[in-house]
Amino acid sequence: MAAPAPHLTAPPAATATAIDVSNLSVRYRRNGAVSLSRVGLTIPDGQIVALIGTNGAGKSTLLRCLVRLIEPAEGAVTIGGTEVTGASRRTLRQVRQDVGFVFQRFHLIPRLTVFHNVVHGAMGRHGSRCAWPLIAPRHVRAQAMEALGRVDLASYAGRRVETLSGGQQQRVAIARMLMQQPRVILADEPVASLDPASANSVMDLMSGIAAERGVTVVVALHQIDLALRYADRVVALRNGAVQFDRAARDCDAAQLSSIYAEESS
Amino acid sequence: MSRAALRARPESELPPRIRRPSLMTLVIVLVVGGLLVHGWTQGATVRPDSLASGVFRLGEFLEDAVPPDASRLGPILKALLVTVEMALLGTLIGAVLSLPLAVLAARNTTPHWSLYAVSRAVITISRTIPDLVWGLIFVIAVGLGPEAGVLAITVDVMGFCGRFFAESIEDIDPARIEGLRALGAPRTGVLVGGVIPACMPSFVTTSMFALESSARSSVVLGLVGAGGIGIELATSMTLLRYDEAATIILAILVVVVVFERVSAAIRRRVLGGGQTA
């Protein structure tokens, strides 16, 4: 079946640009297959963008490319006016300090305590001193407790992360991200491994933080209902390319579900 | 399909019961087989007559060794203490030095391929030369005494722990490293805050195995003049004072068993540490 033509409509009116992506392409190192193909996106400050698409559509690759956890083959990424592609290691670290990344599998250190993991969030700004709470500055320790309070896990500070439920671990990851005081949040299927109640709680938390702080959010999701409920804009990816990009208010659930239906047919 | 129809199916259509061995497999089997036959008949042969007379002489040894003579218990315990300290110090220094070596020798944490190659070479040399040979080398370098023993154990532990620490680092879930890199954490922060805590159970269990091995090595190292109880044992055996040797052997047995028990307890505690929910 031939791929449907992209339906492109203008995204909501922009203020300053938070993320600018142009002609971004990624190839797998092993076999040279294309994972992202000439993707272009401009995301204004404070917008919440949902990336949808089937497994392998390129959502995770795109998010990782934005902070060069995956190196793009070509194209350019700018975050907050700083060019990410081609940036030196030092500049890249500075960009990453301002970008909170929430992963599907949390990416915490399971053996360490909740508090210890949250303190790690300050490593971008304060360096290796924050690798261990023992030597972390006092204000960082206090800030970590504030962040844990924000995600309602202050009473779990001394517990090992591996003893918590998936939803709680994701909230720890969000608390760690809060330590970065991010201007942009990238979330790669943050609720994919959570039950519906935990998924709603995590999405409420992220959208609340975004609203409080005017943070730009790009979140990869499979749940159409969550995308429509929380996002200002929906970008659908298919085979590594943007299939459509439009304001969430202009989309409906049936239309977005068709992305998945087309893939499985 | 009926059983008769299944039986009627020709053998040639089924996968072979035994795969034809490769040329390399045949060569290995022939070489190992040849060495075994040569060893049994010509080289390291065990002759029944020498075995029978050996058992008889062993009886004589036991007759002289029992009851053990504890008249020199003080000097023996002092030498044993030196042996224990050699094992502990050598293991501690070796394990601590193994840590940076392993970071350089792990593909996912090494800063440069040349450092990877050098650190791997150091580990290989430390591992392949036996501890007794290291003991002889350090006796030449620093003279007779426990210092040579500590150095020999240190190098031996570096080889053992260096290899297994590096493998443990390479086996780490890449998500742990990615999570910290995404925060903008510096390389040292990723190592100290992520890699080392994630590998800690493996590091501790490996170090405990090294400690057990060092406890045994430290006894043997004394035989080549590297200090400790080994030299006492060698002297007693040479002077045919088997009753005194029996006391030393019993003391060594107690120490090695204590080391193994303590090490096993620590390993159990570390490995079971996460099951607190």
**CATH architecture assigned to A39-98+183-265:** 3-Layer(aba) Sandwich (3.40)
Contact A238, A53 (CB under 8 A): yes
| Interface with A, mutate which of B112, B173, B176, B183 (most A CBs under 10 A) | B183
Token digits of residue B259: 């080391």
Integer Cα distance of A42 and A21 in angstroms:
6
Q: How many C-beta atoms surround the C-beta of residue B73 within 10 A?
A: 15
Give helix then strand counts, H and E, for chain A: 9, 11
DSSP assigned state of B123: H
> Are B201 and A67 inside 8 Å of each other by CB?
no
Residue B270 touches partner A, C-beta closer than 8 Å: no
d(CA A124, nearest CA chain B) in Å = 4
Nearest chain B residue (CA) to A186: B182
**Residue B276, CA distances (Å) to A100, B204, B269, B271, B273 in order:** 30, 19, 12, 12, 7
The more confidently predicted of residues B181 and B55 is B181
Which chain B residues have a beta carbon less than 8 Å from that of A97?
183-184
Residue B271 touches partner A, C-beta closer than 8 Å: no
- Whether ipTM > 0.90 holds is no
The more confidently predicted of residues B119 and B16 is B119
d(CA B275, nearest CA chain A) in Å = 8
d(CA B199, nearest CA chain A) in Å = 10
Helix (H/G/I), strand (E/B), else coil: A249: helix
Q: A179, exposed or middle or buried, with CB in 10 Å at 0-12, 13-18, 19+? A: buried
Beta bridge partners of B27: none
Integer Cα distance of A63 and A202 in angstroms:
19
pTM: 0.78
How confident is residue B241, by pLDDT bands cut at 50, 70 and 90?
confident
Nearest chain A residue (CA) to B188: A128
φ/ψ of A73, rounded to 5, equals: -80, -40
Q: What percent of chain B has pLDDT over 70?
A: 96
Residue B174 touches partner A, C-beta closer than 8 Å: no
First to last CA, chain B: 53
Amino acid at A214: G
Residue A34 touches partner B, C-beta closer than 8 Å: no
Taking the domains of chain A in order of start, what are their residue ranges? 39-98+183-265, 109-181
Contact B161, B97 (CB under 8 A): no
Taking the domains of chain B in order of start, what are their residue ranges? 84-271
Contact A192, A60 (CB under 8 A): no
Integer Cα distance of B87 and A84 in angstroms:
52
- Could you confirm whether domain B84-271 is CATH 2.160.10.10? no
Token digits of residue B9: 């199916």
Compare CB distances from B193 to A106, A107, A123 and report the shortest one's residue: A123
Residue B216 touches partner A, C-beta closer than 8 Å: no
Q: A26, exposed or middle or buried, with CB in 10 Å at 0-12, 13-18, 19+? A: buried
> Are A124 and B183 inside 8 Å of each other by CB?
yes
Compare CB distances from A120 to B175, B180, B274 and report the shortest one's residue: B180
Residue-by-residue pLDDT tens, chain A, 265 positions: 334 434 444 444 445 888 999 999 998 766 667 788 899 999 999 999 999 988 888 899 999 999 999 999 999 999 988 999 989 988 999 999 999 999 988 899 998 999 999 999 999 999 999 999 999 999 999 999 999 998 999 999 999 999 999 889 999 999 999 999 999 999 999 888 888 888 888 899 888 888 888 899 999 998 888 899 999 999 999 888 998 898 988 888 777 787 777 655 5
CA dihedral A188, A193, A196, A200 (to 10 degrees): -30
| Dihedral sign for Cα atoms in the order B235, B237, B242, B245 | positive
The pLDDT of residue B41 is 79
Scanning the structure block, which residue is given the tokens 């039986």?
B7
> Are B198 and A124 inside 8 Å of each other by CB?
no
How confident is residue B237, by pLDDT bands cut at 50, 70 and 90?
confident
> Are B184 and A123 inside 8 Å of each other by CB?
yes
> Are B189 and A127 inside 8 Å of each other by CB?
yes
The pLDDT of residue A126 is 92
